[in-house]
Chain A
């Protein structure tokens, strides 16, 4: 019987020298960095333990951040609620029932200031998961830093700001693809010129995988998205080495242990070769693919939730052995809800145990030279490069998206995966085998409706108290900038400073760019 990886790559029963293709990859820290971007990896510095977190009001999320920092977490990662992600204010009718549910509700600079109250932005790196309205939330963050007296040169962190994977997978888009990618490029350009230590984009495969792709599809579509952003930024006249060192990536850590490790290794190799060969980058920092990893949310089961701790530990170990720069470990209760404080603490402890007890951090790329891992790395590289070529032939990622190509590939893969579970070919412990009759109940975090009422009240009061003349002028300036070809960041910053809301700024852009509805692909 043919065995395959989770991502449908056929595998042999055993690997040997006959499976090696070409020479063994050079040492970690050497081009093309297959084995890692630093010579001694985690001996130099551990990965950043960064738990994605946010819920309800900015006040409540601020409390959670201070708790996580007190427990030894080394960076923050902001989860926004769906209205914020979709550029709606809390009192927008479309936001009904959604305020504060999947993340923190941040409607204006005032909320952003509250979110980071007493958290020194010059010292703590902050990652923000936001895409369509990324430029707006980033502007709020920059101004919040300014108000704390922190200069922009010393701000560091990461903005997700990856709109292409929204069309491909997560579907949180507001405008058509081209003006959306222009906004992404505005942020990349502005960061290169004014906020040099900040990562202006986190090119994300995570959501592509969660939508049901295979590991190879995740790898290929993510890198092709990266190529698209590089091309757009080069067109602004910025040399590759002026912005490429700040491009960062975000991958999933799923169940198939070796396939995941091979995926990260192949990603580094393809990116280094692409940046040098295709774009002529010379600075070694432009060639090194740095990434954040998160364990696979879609692998968590509702049934027997404590088993999720084990799944997460295995996935996290794969990310570490694959050389991640930062890591989020999911909590055992996340198939149900946002995590409770107790569950998130176990998830953080999982990383700390890998870092301090397992011994895996002592040696860089300890699996390098393994016949299986090297063969699988080469196989994934080949398959991903062939996808990338296919998308090139379609005219790039935007036109591939417009044709529905990546969306269709993912839908097919996710249906095959689900059929595999249905037939029992694929075993999910506690779900289709080793089931238990009596349900287990675990304590869950509940977000009450009060958060919504509070946020609605606050945004309405804000609109009464601010200088609305200045807000109107700032929004007009945004419309004008959007119509022309200039970088829109200065106008966004001006609007944020006079407390224009995320909903108002996103609507101003929509007036110029129009909206977007995908043609549904089943």
Chain B
């Protein structure tokens, strides 16, 4: 049996709008992945620790407050410090094109903007996760 992909769905920053995060969490679960949802208002440190504890292959960050340029780089930095560079980081939310390009350059695997299809997100994660041998 192929082990299930483990995903941490995280809400970073002060924003409490969790509709998207919850819908994505359910869609990934329905697609057969193991999903851990952090709940609201997680600091970058809390998110990276949760990813470590839960031994996930993917972190899905939901940010709708415009604070992505401050929060995402900090998470990537912490992942590098903890030698967790192999964790796939995807971001969803209201991220303008220019910012999305910058985030990808820093190491974010994909940015899903409003209107992204659930199926496309599932397919991207399935196609990108390095399965353990």
Contacts and interface: CB of A to CB of B under 8 A. Distances in A.
B81 interface: no
Contact of B115 (A98, A170, A301): A301
Contact of A88 (B14, B22, B23, B114): B14
A521 B25 CA distance: 11
Contact of B94 (A211, A337, A520): A337
B13 A522 contact: no
Interface in A493-522: 517-518, 520-522
B28 to A, nearest CB: 11
A193 interface: no
B102 to A, nearest CB: 13
Contacts, number: 99
Given A170-B16, A335-B94, A411-B22, 10 more contacts: A97-B67, A97-B69, A98-B65, A212-B19, A301-B114, A428-B115, A431-B115, A444-B96, A517-B39, A522-B22
A418 B71 CA distance: 27
A191 to B, nearest CB: 26
29 contacts: A82-B13, A82-B67, A85-B14, A88-B14, A94-B43, A96-B71, A97-B66, A98-B15, A98-B65, A98-B66, A101-B65, A102-B65, A170-B17, A171-B16, A172-B16, A298-B19, A302-B113, A302-B114, A303-B115, A335-B115, A411-B22, A414-B22, A415-B26, A418-B23, A428-B115, A447-B66, A517-B40, A520-B37, A522-B26
A108 B66 CA distance: 23
Contacts of B13: 82, 97-98
Interface string A407-431: 0000100110010001000001001
List of 9 A-B pairs having minimum Cβ-Cβ separation, nearest first: A97-B70, A171-B16, A97-B67, A101-B66, A302-B114, A82-B14, A520-B39, A431-B115, A98-B67
Interface of B: 13-19, 22-23, 25-27, 29, 35, 37, 39-41, 43, 65-71, 94, 96-97, 113-115, 117-119
A439 interface: yes
B29 to A, nearest CB: 8
A298 B37 CA distance: 22
A350 B16 CA distance: 30
B49 to A, nearest CB: 16
Interface of A: 82-83, 85-86, 88, 94-98, 101-102, 166, 170-172, 210-212, 298, 301-303, 335-337, 411, 414-415, 418, 422, 428, 431-432, 439, 441, 444, 447, 517-518, 520-522
Nearest to B40: A171
Interface residues of chain B: helix, strand, loop or mixed (majority)? loop
Contact of B19 (A85, A211, A335): A211
Contacts of B27: 418
Contact of B96 (A170, A303, A337, A428): A337
B22 A171 contact: no
A302 B40 contact: no
Contacts of B71: 96-97
A298 B115 CA distance: 10
A522 B7 CA distance: 14
Given A411-B22, A422-B119, A441-B97, A522 B66 contact: no
By CB atoms of chain B within 10 A, which of A85, A418, A422, A441 has the most?
A418
Contact of A94 (B14, B37, B114, B117): B14
Contacts of B69: 97
B40 to A, nearest CB: 6
Contacts of A83: 14
Contact of A336 (B29, B41, B96): B96
Nearest to B116: A302
B97 A439 contact: yes
B33 to A, nearest CB: 13
B18 A171 contact: yes
Given A82-B13, A444-B96, A518 B65 contact: no
A355 B12 CA distance: 42
Contacts of A521: 22
Contacts of A170: 16-17
A424 to B, nearest CB: 10
User: Which one of B23, B66, B71 has the highest number of Cβ atoms from chain A below 10 Å of its Cβ?
Assistant: B66
Given A302-B113, A422-B118, A518-B39, A102 B66 contact: yes
Nearest to B99: A446
Contacts of A94: 14, 41, 43
Contacts of B66: 97-98, 101-102, 337, 447
A332 to B, nearest CB: 13
A415 B94 CA distance: 19
B14 A95 contact: yes
A415 B23 contact: yes
